[in-house]
Every structure is written in C-alpha cells, then in structure tokens.
Amino acid sequence: MQSHVYAEFAHIERVHWWFKARRGILDSILSAFVPKKASNCLDIGSGPAINAIMLKRHAQRLTLLEPSIEGVTMAKENLPEATIIHGFFPQDRPDAKYELITAFDVIEHIEDDKSAITAIAGMLQPNGITVITVPAYNWLWSEHDDVVHHKRRYTKDGLQELMESSGLVVEKISYFNFLLFLPISAARFLLRASKKKREATDFSLTPSFINIPLQYIFSLERYLLKWSSLPFGISILCVARKKAV
C-alpha cells in the first residue's frame, strides 16, 4: 500500500464513527477487566497506533506488532514511547510474556487462527488477559471481506471453542454492533443482490450529520455490554484469561 493511501486509511480510523465507537467500547471493557494498569501490553496488528493511544490508559508499557512498513512508520510518529516491531503474527512474535494482549480485528486475517490463539496463550503471563475482536457470521460475507483479505468470519460459539481449546478461560464473550445490526446487514444483502462490483471497504468518510448519530448509537453498547452479553451483532468481543499456574 502506498504511503498516502495508508495515511488516508489512518485518518478514517481516527474519525470514522465505527472506529471511534469501538474504541470507546474497548476502553470500557478494558477498564472492567484490567482495573489496575497492566505492567505490559502487546497489541497485535497495531496499524498506525491509534488504538494503542487508548491502550496507554491500561498498560504501563506498550509493545506494538505491525506487519506493514507504513503502519510501523506512522506508529513511531503517533506513539514514539512504545516498542514497535515490524513482523507478521504469529511467526514473528516477540520472545516475552505479557500481562495484557490485544488483537482488534486481526485473527480473521490469519490463515491458521488456531496457531495464532495458541501463540497468544503462550505469551500471556499466568492470570494474564487477552481481549480480541473479530467479525461475525460467514453469511454476512461481502466484498468488504474480500478487499480487506479476511479468511473467515466467526460465531460466538466457534470463537469460544477456539479460545478454550488453546487453554484460555473465557470471562466474557458477546456479539456487538447490535443496535445497527439490521441496517448494516440489510445494506450488505442489497449490495450483494445488486451484483454491482466494487473494490472498496465498508469504511469511508461520512458527513458529520451521519457520522455523529451513528457513533452515538454504536457507543451506547458500552453500557449494554457492562451488564449483559448481546444476542447478535456484526462483530464479536472476547475477553479471556490464562489460568494461574
């Protein structure tokens, strides 16, 4: 990806309603499950470190693992105090143990997701926490998934089985992007039915009169997730812990 194109994607990640609301939801989840700052955190697939800026509130030291040179360059600019590693997970994983490991919409890009989750479990300290998000439901597959090189989408039961088969204890698992599920899924079905080919992701800049209300609606789920798990959604959130020895 050319540098100017990556910069455009980074700007979208900073301002788009979906990314902003998701950061708020993840911030709330981390506050609940990591009430005291973790000694160290590994963020897998960190991109330009926009999510990692939020992670600073939850960890004393940050290590970022990012496969793209453009992402590494921007991460160094946005978060120079972090340790930033250029590499592909899980083969290029750091030789260290972490109290917190995050992978936000990353595992679905990895061919062998079982190996990826097993690697995360291996890098966690005893009693360490991992927070993972993935897209939900293969029947929601669209050209967006093709463009961003997804290997699969998940169900809640399938993700839970994957986590537990790697020796992790699931403490919370829920669908999210629940409140906007019907319009988003309907839009995908309509695009599929139209058979109109497009080479773009679902993420593009939207005018503020659309961006702000959608961000507000999606952000409400941080309060719902505090007390319950949601029955369906566009994505899945999982918090899992490594058993203490």
User: CATH number, domain at 73?
Assistant: 3.40.50.150
CB 65 within 8 A of CB 45: yes
Instruction: Report the pLDDT value the prediction gives residue 1, as an integer from 0 to 100.
Output: 47
The tokens for 229 are 């798990």
Are β-strands 98-104 and 168-176 bridged in parallel, bridged antiparallel, or unpaired?
unpaired
Instruction: Tell me the C-alpha distance between 6 and 12, whole Å.
Output: 10
Higher pLDDT, 105 or 201: 105
pTM of the model: 0.95
**Residue in the structure block whose two tokens are 């998934």:** 145
List phi, psi (to 5°) of 225. Answer: -70, -20
Mean pLDDT across the stretch 43-63? 97
pLDDT tens figures, 111-158: 999 999 999 999 999 999 999 999 999 999 988 898 889 999 999 999
Domain count of the fold of the chain: 1
Instruction: Tell me the C-alpha distance between 100 and 34, whole Å.
Output: 8
List phi, psi (to 5°) of 162. Answer: -60, -45
Phi-psi region of 152 (alpha: psi -120 to 50; beta: other; left: phi over 0): beta
pLDDT tens figures, 150-198: 999 999 999 999 999 999 999 999 999 999 999 999 988 887 787 666 6
Instruction: Tell me the C-alpha distance between 188 and 180, whole Å.
Output: 12
CA 211 from chain centre, in angstroms, equals 20
Instruction: Tell me the C-alpha distance between 122 and 96, whole Å.
Output: 10
pLDDT tens figures, 63-113: 999 999 999 999 999 999 999 999 999 999 999 999 999 999 999 999 999
Domain of 181 in residue numbering reads as 3-242
Task: Give the number of other CB atoms < 10 A from CB of residue 243.
Answer: 12
CB 26 within 8 A of CB 132: no
The tokens for 108 are 């679905």
